[in-house]
Amino acid sequence: MRYLDSSVRNNEQALGHWIESESASSVSQLRFQTGYFSINGLAAFGGIITALVSADRPVSAVVGSNDRDTIKSDIEGLIDLVGCPRSNAQVCIVSYSRGLFHPKVVHLTRTDGSQLAYVGSANLTPAGVGAGNIEAGVLLDTSDGDPPAVLNDIASKIDGWFAPSLPEVSIVKTRADIQNCVDDGILGLSKPPRTSTSTGGSTSSGPSKPTLSPLKTYSPIASSSAATSMAASSPSKTPTAPLPSAPTSSPMGQDVLVAEIGGGTRWKQANFPIAIMKNYFGVNPVANDHIQLHEVETSGAVTNVANTLVVNVKSQNYRMELSTVAGISYPTSGRPIGIFRRVAPKEFRYRVFMPSDAAHPNLASYLSAKYAGPSRQLKRLIIDHSELQKLWSGCPV
């Protein structure tokens, strides 16, 4: 058990610090309940939530709306972020006519079965998670010897809000559900005005009071409209004749990306970190940028060209759809490996090689030998085409 108190002004006292410390790939379930809420309060959770949604794992969110302080756009962002509607995503709004819904609890279950929970004063708002306020709470972790029964009880109590027919609870799965909450006076359309005292100002004429700066700050979560648009319609495919062979070396250098592709039910929507998006694909991943992906057959012929939207999906990862693997199940053993080759700015030939493909073992061995990044991350290398030729002179890409 650890006690957090942000009156001690160092980063480790912020809830966001501890959320960021958890590896996204190590989390199998997320639950939270919060009295006050802003979608940007989940910025520290972005990597975890993205990984859970990609793997279709459970996310449960219980959000208070006290005097319509929680607003429509934040809940729209929330259901998009957790992937609603899907069976493993639960969102509900709790509201009372008298009295506040006021708990602040976060619960994580890890893939190894251990559990971590925060119970304290921090709402899931930027000021709460980043300790822009003075916040206090405790962290409980079964890995540190805290009682599993207590952590189980925390998870159970959050799950209890999704019991059927609770009059104070509104289950939210779609935008129509959200609009019903607006019509019923549960959600607001804009934040109510703050008094000077509620924002930390002084109403007296005496000496000015000290101000607080957040211990942790995060980039705002971008509009989910791009992600929604991508989910609603797949990128267009245009049949095309085979491209002429690209030159054996690119004047731009380092024109080949060899990359493991992560799993999940939506694995065709591949995630890449911002460095690869900028330095290799040459796009601004937060600006709804597009690239051209030429789908290459084993013969080297290009059968389709996909005008592909690069979607900002919160945190450090950004998504684009690899339509060539649509309808193909993720392998039960081993990771698919994609080879991308730049043939023009923002234009790439590519093919995804499955573990059953003859070339896959050599590609996997090459990545294992050359990759020097963190072991918990997918192996990705940007190399010159001459290097690919040494590895596999007959590569169709």
Q: What is the pLDDT of residue 144?
A: 94
Rounded CA separation 102/117 (Å): 17
Domain span at 93: 2-183
Q: Would the pLDDT of 201 be above 60?
A: no
**126-181 residue pLDDT tens:** 999 999 999 999 999 999 999 999 999 999 999 999 998 899 999 999 999 999 99
Lowest mean pLDDT segment, chosen from 30-39, 111-120, 184-193: 184-193
Can you give the pLDDT at residue 19? 94
pLDDT > 70 fraction of the chain, expressed in percent and rounded: 86
Of 160, 183, 206, the domain-final residue: 183
Is 174 in the same domain as 292?
Answer: no
| Residue 373 and residue 239 in one domain | yes
pLDDT interval class at 386 (50, 70, 90): confident
Please check the confidence at residue 363 and state whether its pLDDT lies above 80.
yes
pLDDT the model gives residue 215 = 87
Query: Do 241 and 299 sit in the same domain of this protein?
Result: yes
Q: Tell me, yes or no, whether 166 and 241 share the same domain.
A: no
pTM: 0.57
Residue 222 has pLDDT above 80, yes or no: no
Residue 225 included in any domain: no
pLDDT over 50 (residue 320)? yes
Predicted confidence (pLDDT) per residue in 5-21, tens digit: 999 999 999 999 999 89
222 with 319: CB under 8 angstroms?
A: no
Chain centre to alpha carbon of residue 205: 46
In a domain, 397, yes or no: no
Question: Is residue 192 included in any domain, yes or no?
Answer: no
Q: Are residues 151 and 257 in the same domain?
A: no
**What's the sign of the alpha-carbon dihedral 315, 318, 321, 327?**
negative
Provide the CATH number for the domain around residue 318.
2.40.330
Contact predicate 55/264, CB 8 Å: yes
Whether 202 is covered by a domain: the verdict is no
Region of 43 please: left (phi>0), alpha (psi -120 to 50) or beta: alpha
Same domain, 161 and 50: yes
CA-CA distance, 264 to 262, in Å (whole number)? 7
Q: Is residue 220 part of a domain?
A: no
Question: Mean pLDDT, to the nearest integer, of 226-235?
Answer: 34
Domain-embedded: residue 217: no
Residue 335 has pLDDT above 90, yes or no: yes
Tokens 């759809």 belong to 321
Mean pLDDT of 236-244: 35
Asked, for residue 198, whether it belongs to a domain, the answer is no
Residue 231: pLDDT band by 50, 70, 90 thresholds? Answer: very low
Q: For position 83, which CATH number holds?
A: 3.30.870.10
Q: Is the same domain home to 240 and 343? A: yes
User: Is the same domain home to 248 and 166?
Assistant: no
Residue with tokens 């994580």, as numbered in its chain: 108
Instruction: Give me the chain's average pLDDT, please.
Output: 85
Give the number of domains in the chain.
2
Question: Same domain for 288 and 172?
Answer: no
Q: Do 172 and 28 belong to one domain?
A: yes
**pLDDT tens per residue, range 48-72:** 999 999 899 999 999 999 988 899 9
Whether a cis peptide bond, with omega within 30° of 0, leads into 85 is yes
Residues 126 and 46 in one domain: yes
pLDDT digits (tens, 9 = 90+) for 25-43: 899 999 999 999 999 999 9
109, β-bridge pairs? 29, 115
Average pLDDT value for residue range 274-280: 85
- Same domain membership, residue 58 and residue 160: yes
- Kindly state whether residue 14 falls inside one of the protein's structural domains: yes
Question: In three state form, how does the secondary structure of the chain look?
Answer: CEEEECCCCCHHHCHHHHHHHCCHHHEEEEEEEECCECHHHHHHHHHHHHHHHHCCCCEEEEEECCCCCCEHHHHHHHHHHHCCCCCCEEEEEECCCCCCCCCEEEEEEECCCCEEEEEECCCECHHHHCCCCCCEEEEEEHHHCCCHHHHHHHHHHHHHHHCCCCCCEEECCCHHHHHHHHHCCCCECCCCCCCCCCCCCCCCCCCCCCCCCCCCCCCCCCCCHHHHHHHHCCCCEEECCCCCCCCCCCCCCCCEEEEECCCCCCCCEEEEEHHHHHHCCCCCCCCCCEEEEEEECCCCCEEEEEEEECEECCCCEEEEECHHHCCCCCCCCCCCEEEEEEEECCEEEEEEECCCCCCHHHHHHHHHHHCCCCCCCCCEEEECHHHHHHHCCCCCC
Q: With cut-offs at 50, 70 and 90, classify the pLDDT of residue 253.
A: low
Q: Tell me the average pLDDT across 348-355.
A: 96
C-alpha 126/C-alpha 291 separation (Å) is 33
